[in-house]
Structure 1
Amino acid sequence: MAALTRIGEFLLFTLQVIWTVVLVLTSYVLGRPLGGHALKIGRISPLLLTLHDVRYSGALYRRDYTYTFTATSLSVAFHLPRPSYPRWFTLSSHSLFYVSSTSDISVSTLDVTFWVFPYLARRTAGQWASVELDGFRIRVHKSNATPYWIQKLRQNVVTALLQGEIYRLDDFWTKVQFAGVSESFAPGRSVRRRRKGVHRDAPPPSTNTDTDELRISASARQLHLHNTEGRVYTFGVVDAQLRRDWDQDRGSFVLVVEEARWVKVHWLFQRTPTPWWSQIVTSITQFPLDVAHVLRHPMSTVNIYATRTDITFDEFRIRDASLVVQALTILRAKTANMGINWADVLFDAVIHTFVRP
């Protein structure tokens, strides 16, 4: 019965996707919005397989959620796969903007490469596509209206940090600053962990003392995480700052990440050598299941690389951050299993941060 339910849900989702595509294409042909969807293309280059000045707008949830997508160019290209580089299709786009009711997203350059038998060619651990982002920026208007996919990404990273393995961490430090109470700051004790590499200081915070403000900063260098689902997160540089303005009773949060990768690694059974013909037969027979998996969980079938990512929350409240609750819950469970008193841990943390020099 459960299998029939999943099949029905998959068929319903597929029909919804097909119907949306039909509405979008019909809207472009008719030159007017249709069913809450509108597509406009400035110019088409058939020989180059390129669309110029693309603009698409739509609405979801009874038009409570509206969004607009624009791109200066959107091009595709087909390739002859080679054993050393088995790509067959690439998608490229420049100057992408996604504006919605809850967030704004921009990407300078997007390149998506699709592979043929990636596991057989040892290109990936089975992922059919690799995504490369340059100049990736996300702006969330309010933390209590964070988009679902950002919540999932945040949850996955926190879970990997607390429940997975830390393969590498060259440098890590935190700082607490109070501004506005006096002209000088009261920095907390920095925690540093250095193994190798050159330390680079984060940009100094603003010294504006007109308002009473609390700033909590954290930075890390060469952070490599391995979660429990065969994914490896690597971050070259991570800089984060939380600001709390006591006068206006509001806060903001900024996160800057450089050289970020999200890569699927091989399971143990995948590392065992198998005949090439067996891998081809397995890939062909599992292709329909892979297509269904792509439609249901598209992010699980790609590897992602972003040269730089900027995430900004205009209005940020800690009680809206599920990662804080998740982190405290997991940390409390771990300390309980190790026989550590939770109250002592919090008290020692306060002493180390605010009291000790």
Structure 2
Amino acid sequence: MSQPEPDSAILFAARLLYLTSLAVWSYILNRPVRGHRLQIGHFSWSSAYAVRYEAVLYDKSYSFTFTSSAVSWRFHIPRADNPRWLTVTLYDVIYTSSTGDVSTTSLESVFWFFPVFFRFTAGPWMNVTIDGLRIRVQKSTATPYWIQRLRENLVGTFLTGEFLRADVFRTSVRFAGLSEHQEDKPKGYTDPRSKLSPEVPDGAVAESETGPQSSDDNEPCGCCAPNGKLGSNGHATYAHQEEADALACADEYKTQPLRPYDDDELRFSVLARTVHINNTEGRIYTFGRIDAQMRRNWVEDRGSFAMVAEECRWVRVHFPFERVAPRAWYTQLLSSILHFPIDLVRTFNYPVTSMNLCVTRVDVTFDSFRLRDAELFRQGVALVREKAITSNIDWSDLFFDALLDAFGTRPAHPMQVDRCRKQKAES
């Protein structure tokens, strides 16, 4: 199950301190303490190696394991041009839990010293840079809490935010014909991973399936003739294998007639390039590349979701009134000091609001995904309902009239009925 949302910042802070104390005691005693165990292979003043932390939470209904090959921290003297005071870097992070898995190549966190006063950021106290983020969720019905909040924020921004730039934005929907069949392969295509492809011993030259050819009439075509090269898996690669692969993907955006043996499937794809969005709450989302796809197979009763995004940034920016009338340094300092407790509470309730986030590449995969759990569908329906209410549109009348129009059974308007009666009386 997903983790419940914390009731308040004070309770969250108390629970965090309690869990931290359990982890410290487990490291000192070198044994589990109430389901928590922290292990460190090597420890120094500036780094820790082979870090492993295991814990069981929420009455043993949720368990996770955190591992990192190395954790380093460096303290700095804040300067006006670079007001950082701490840098924490994690390498080869793997987080496995009962609901999903997360892994990163590296994660760097830079903590700032009064960044608003030094006009270095628009409010966040830290910058987080993640290289190679991979998220795998087992079931959409048990999505982890922080992934759910991030997904709600992202989808809400796409639906209600202001698009500042979008070089390419395309969606596509395809029904049936998604599963690969043998007759879909182009002539001469051989999958290198297939067991049916000819294996070639080391140092030998691949031959065609019919053996060596001696006559020009029996010489195989270019698509079927091996080029004598061996792949990493020990199979021969064909001369025009790339052309065959391109031909297999040529019908990606073409409508094909349905066949009797096609499965009952649905695929919804989204492709975007260089997208900048303002969520109207002081945040700018930028994406260099987005490729997302949701699939549903009703024959096998399964669904999945996958998304790949590159050059993703989530940056806090100044509001328009802050850019028009900048405050003096003493007012800025006083505001930073007075807002520190508020920022602290906001950090406990929703930590992402106090950071600028940069992800070089993120891969998200849902092994089991239901259409009803799609955040785009849920927020889209809620947005349409809200617009209908504000526009005084009765949903029941709207769908009922549409159904009558579709079947041609809508009753005539009373004025039309009176007009027909008059015409009949005059005749």
Aligned with residue 381 of structure 2, among 297, 303, 328: 328
More strand by share: 1
Aligned-residue offset at 1:268: 3.0
Question: Structure 1 pair 184/218, CA: closer, same or farther in 2 (3 Å)?
Answer: farther
**1 CA distance for matches of 2:268 and 2:250?**
10
Aligned-residue offset at 1:335: 6.6
CA contact (8 A) 1:158 1:327 kept: no
**2 CA distance for matches of 1:335 and 1:121?**
46
Aligned-residue offset at 1:288: 3.1
- Where do residues 48-197 of structure 1 align in structure 2 (5 Å cutoff)? 49-177=46-174, 178-179=176-177, 180=179
Partner of 2:348: 295
Question: How large is the RMSD of aligned CA atoms in angstroms?
Answer: 3.0
**2 CA distance for matches of 1:217 and 1:297?**
30
Aligned-residue offset at 1:87: 1.0
Where structure 2 has 5 or more consecutive residues not aligned to the other structure, the ranges are: 1-6, 186-245, 253-258, 404-427
293-302 or 103-112: which moved more?
Answer: 293-302
The answer to whether residue 317 in structure 2 is matched with residue 265 in structure 1 is yes
CA contact (8 A) 1:211 1:245 kept: no
263-272 or 102-111: which moved more?
Answer: 263-272
248-257 or 260-269: which moved more?
Answer: 260-269
Question: Structure 1 pair 110/211, CA: closer, same or farther in 2 (3 Å)?
Answer: farther
Q: Deviations over 1:299-350 (max 9, x none)?
A: 111110001000000011111224312112213544776799976xx99xxx
Partner of 2:12: 13
Q: Deviations over 1:261-291 (max 9, x none)?
A: 1111112343222221222233223323332
User: Match of 1:19, as an amino acid?
Assistant: Y
Partner of 2:40: 41
Question: Structure 1 pair 80/331, CA: closer, same or farther in 2 (3 Å)?
Answer: same
Max radius of gyration: which structure? 2
Structure-1-length-normalised TM-score: 0.81
The answer to whether residue 288 in structure 2 is matched with residue 247 in structure 1 is no
**2 CA distance for matches of 1:35 and 1:160?**
41
Question: Structure 1 pair 181/88, CA: closer, same or farther in 2 (3 Å)?
Answer: closer
Partner of 1:277: 330
Aligned-residue offset at 1:13: 3.0
Aligned-residue offset at 1:154: 1.2
Aligned with residue 274 of structure 2, among 222, 226, 233: 222
**1 CA distance for matches of 2:150 and 2:35?**
28
Partner of 1:351: none
CA contact (8 A) 1:170 1:222 kept: yes
Where structure 1 has 5 or more consecutive residues not aligned to the other structure, the ranges are: 1-7, 186-200, 348-357
**2 CA distance for matches of 1:64 and 1:51?**
30
**1 CA distance for matches of 2:250 and 2:348?**
43
User: Match of 1:163, as an amino acid?
Assistant: T
Q: Tell me the SS of whatever aligns to 1:311.
A: strand
User: Match of 1:232, as an amino acid?
Assistant: I
Partner of 2:368: 315
**2 CA distance for matches of 1:104 and 1:211?**
33
Partner of 1:27: 26
Question: Structure 1 pair 266/205, CA: closer, same or farther in 2 (3 Å)?
Answer: farther
CA contact (8 A) 1:231 1:265 kept: yes
Q: Deviations over 1:29-79 (max 9, x none)?
A: 000110111100011122xx1000000011111010000000000111011
Percentage of identical aligned residues: 44
Structure-2-length-normalised TM-score: 0.69
CA contact (8 A) 1:211 1:247 kept: no
Q: Deviations over 1:164-200 (max 9, x none)?
A: 2111111111223332498569xxxxxxxxxxxxxxx
Aligned-residue offset at 1:20: 1.3
Q: Tell me the SS of whatever aligns to 2:331.
A: helix
Q: Tell me the SS of whatever aligns to 1:126.
A: coil
**1 CA distance for matches of 2:388 and 2:164?**
21
Question: Structure 1 pair 137/211, CA: closer, same or farther in 2 (3 Å)?
Answer: farther
Q: Tell me the SS of whatever aligns to 2:337.
A: helix
